[in-house]
Amino acid sequence: MIKIAKAIKEFIISFFVAFFTKWLEDFLILSGIVMIVVNTYLISIVDYNILAGNYLTGVVLIFMGVILAKR
């Protein structure tokens, strides 16, 4: 049982290390694009102030992803 727990612990640690070093900028850009596309389809349903905040959040996520990708 101890070997299984150690293997699971090592897998989780290696996953998070790989995520934050290789995939974080891709995740940020993708989530920003998805947020903007979803809000485009919700224009007639959601209030304008919420839409503006969601668009701004999407743009900030894309901007942060691009900055991290350039480094």
Q: What are phi and psi of 36, to 5 degrees?
A: -65, -40
Asked if residues 39 and 58 have their Cβ atoms less than 8 Å apart, the reply is yes
Alpha carbons 9 and 3: distance in angstroms, whole number: 10
What are the tens digits of pLDDT across the range 10-58? 989 888 888 777 888 999 999 999 999 999 998 888 899 999 999 999 9
Q: Residue 15 is encoded by which pair of tokens? A: 């996953």
The reported pTM is: 0.75
The answer to whether 33 and 62 are in contact (CB under 8 A) is: yes
